Amino acid sequence: MKRRGILLLMVLALVVLSGVGCANNTPAPDTNNNNNNQGDVQGNQQQTPKDMNVAQIIYDQWKGSAHATAVEENDPENSPALREGGGCFKCHNGYGFELNPDTLEGIGILKGQSCDTCHTKYGHDLATSGSVEIPLGTIKGGKGALCIACHNGRGKEPDQVKAPHHSVQTDMLLAKSGAEVEGFDYSTHSHAGADNKCLACHMAADDNTIKDHTFKMNKENIANSCGRCHDFDSFNPTARDDFDGDGNKEGYQDEVKGLADMLEKTINEKLGDKKFESSHGKIVFTDAQGNALDAPPSEEVYNAAWNLLFVRYDGSNGVHNPNYSVQLLQQSYKLLTGEDVPNAKMK
Ligand code: HEC
Ligand code: HEC
Ligand code: HEC
Ligand code: HEC
Ligand code: HEC
């Protein structure tokens, strides 16, 4: 552990020294990651080829990811990275995260989630301790505790006013914060038990043992992510049943998308000439003239809208929690229409 820590610091220092940000002319160090998978489930004994420039590869991967820029970086006045109210800067400003302060004082820099954000100070502490305090409680997530610190629903619960935040991935994984129907038994799912949570899929080591720093799910690397537990070659593997009732057993993600579209259509039918949207942290319903209503037309409609946004913002189209995603959408449909999703297998 210690050796790896030192190795990493050296890499980081050299990345900075070589001025990777502006020029690629200084050769970055080669880190020969011997034994770095010991203890991992996959037990991949392969080594990084000696001539491979790991720091440069990781830098390039990160540079192409959304973490490399802050949300609305070109509009600092409106960027959540420089907004104190609501604590936006704590997740949206990598510098704010590292220092973990209560206020913006002294944080004039607008930056996304850089190497330092995850590898030094607060980020380093979280990944090492494997535990993080979020509004849902104390979560044990291994190295994934780092991701969970930002990618959580911020304690928002359906309350007839609020909209879910875009970062609900942890809540979805743990089957929390959906607008649940009373009396229905929602199930959790085994993906919550994946080693190091988010990392198991999003940062799987590639064939050269480099831990993926694109952070997005990488199709090329599917054998090392999903492939450790399943034998399919798509993020959209054929579902066991037809959950949206369109007469086909499609890919699981397509079933979830089908259900979401169906629920959206049903909400819109209920609303007639009214509309809804997520705006400034609230679900806003408007009348035919575009004026905001004082309250949602009904509790069922608001809850259905919450679940629709919740599933869509999660961004995995059901993979994070196959059961919970389908159950939330199906039960919302049932509550709105009084019947099961026609021709579908109810989960
Ligand atoms: C607990 C951490 C956290 C806090 C606090 C937080 N956010 Fe976020 N926010 C995120 C994450 C993580 C994402 C990206 C989610 C994704 O890509 O799925 C995000 C996404 C967004 C997006 C969408 C960006 C896009 O690319 O479409 C906006 C806008 C946003 N946040 C605004 C805010 C504002 C305004 C505040 C403060 C009121 C705030 N956030 C507070 C974690 C947070
Ligand atoms: C969003 C968080 C995050 C950011 C940003 C990030 N890293 Fe990482 N990095 C991690 C995590 C988590 C691991 C540990 C993965 C593991 O052990 O499974 C890691 C591992 C590494 C490793 C060890 C690689 C290996 O194969 O064991 C190196 C080197 C590294 N990062 C360098 C960098 C550099 C350089 C940057 C910036 C260009 C960067 N990281 C940005 C989270 C991050
Ligand atoms: C300091 C807060 C923070 C941490 C820590 C963090 N993220 Fe993010 N992440 C964000 C924000 C904010 C965004 C949205 C950025 C944007 O849209 O510009 C984001 C975006 C993403 C995306 C979308 C990527 C893309 O290129 O579209 C993925 C996937 C992701 N994060 C996964 C992770 C994983 C996995 C970890 C842990 C290794 C992690 N994040 C750690 C704040 C964080
Ligand atoms: C079981 C594997 C798995 C686990 C565990 C997992 N993810 Fe995902 N995640 C996926 C897949 C698959 C997708 C959808 C990718 C696609 O369709 O291209 C996804 C999508 C996402 C997205 C949306 C990316 C985008 O392009 O908009 C974010 C953000 C994200 N995951 C973050 C996380 C975070 C944070 C965690 C931990 C709390 C996590 N994931 C845990 C597999 C996983
Ligand atoms: C750490 C092991 C692990 C990893 C990694 C993993 N899964 Fe799973 N997954 C499971 C387990 C366990 C189940 C529940 C048992 C089952 O339904 O087969 C499951 C169930 C599923 C289901 C639901 C199947 C159904 O019909 O109910 C889908 C879809 C799924 N996983 C997709 C993925 C995808 C896509 C990836 C990669 C991004 C992935 N999983 C990575 C362990 C894993």
In a domain, 183, yes or no: no
The first and second tokens of residue 226, run together, are 């999903």
The first and second tokens of residue 250, run together, are 């499609």
Cβ of residue 87 lying under 6 Å from some atom of ligand 1: yes
In a domain, 38, yes or no: yes
- Spell out where 43-192 has E strands: 131-134, 137-140
Rounded to whole angstroms, how far apart are CA atoms 310 and 258? 15
In 3D space, the residue among 133, 140, 173, 175 whose CA is nearest the CA of residue 154 turns out to be: 133
From first CA to last CA, the distance across the chain in angstroms is: 43
* Predicted pLDDT of residue 10: 47
Distance 66 CA to ligand 3 centre (A): 7
Same structural domain, 59 and 136: no
Ligand 5 pocket test, candidate residues 172, 221, 229, 243, most atoms within 8 A of CB = 229
* Predicted pLDDT of residue 190: 81
Q: What is the residue range of 286's domain?
A: 234-337
Boundary (domain end) residue, out of 228, 244, 269: 228
* Predicted pLDDT of residue 106: 87
Rounded to whole angstroms, how far apart are CA atoms 226 and 223? 6
Cβ-contact 153, 165 below 8 angstroms: yes
In a domain, 12, yes or no: yes
In a domain, 162, yes or no: no
Q: Which residues of the chain have pLDDT under 70?
A: 1-46
The backbone torsions φ and ψ at residue 294, rounded to the nearest 5 degrees and listed phi first, read -70, -30
In a domain, 184, yes or no: no
Cβ of residue 200 lying under 6 Å from some atom of ligand 4: yes
Same structural domain, 238 and 315: yes
Same structural domain, 224 and 271: no
Question: What CA–CA distances, in Å, run from 263 to 23, 44, 308, 337, 339?
Answer: 50, 43, 7, 10, 13
Angle (CA) 14 219 232, round 5° = 135
* Predicted pLDDT of residue 209: 87
The backbone torsions φ and ψ at residue 56, rounded to the nearest 5 degrees and listed phi first, read -65, -40
- The model's pLDDT over 82-137, given as tens digits with 9 standing for 90+, comes to 999 999 999 999 999 999 999 999 898 899 999 999 999 999 999 999 999 999 99
Ligand 2 pocket test, candidate residues 32, 48, 58, 228, most atoms within 8 A of CB = 58
| CB-neighbour burial class of residue 296 (10 A; exposed 0-12, middle 13-18, buried 19+) | buried
In a domain, 323, yes or no: yes
Query: Which atom of ligand 5 is closest in space to residue 201's alpha carbon?
Result: 38
Same structural domain, 28 and 97: no
Rounded to whole angstroms, how far apart are CA atoms 324 and 60? 35
* Predicted pLDDT of residue 109: 87
Query: Which atom of ligand 5 is closest in space to residue 194's alpha carbon?
Result: 1
Cβ-contact 318, 326 below 8 angstroms: yes
* Predicted pLDDT of residue 26: 28
Cβ of residue 174 lying under 6 Å from some atom of ligand 3: no
* Predicted pLDDT of residue 29: 31
Same structural domain, 218 and 242: no
Same structural domain, 25 and 105: no
Same structural domain, 288 and 224: no
Cβ-contact 288, 274 below 8 angstroms: yes
The backbone torsions φ and ψ at residue 61, rounded to the nearest 5 degrees and listed phi first, read -65, -50
Cβ of residue 152 lying under 6 Å from some atom of ligand 1: yes
In a domain, 284, yes or no: yes
Q: Which helix (H) or strand (E) covers residue 286, if one does?
A: strand 282-286
In a domain, 142, yes or no: yes
Same structural domain, 72 and 84: yes
Cβ-contact 296, 277 below 8 angstroms: no
Quote the number of domains for the chain: 3
Same structural domain, 215 and 249: no
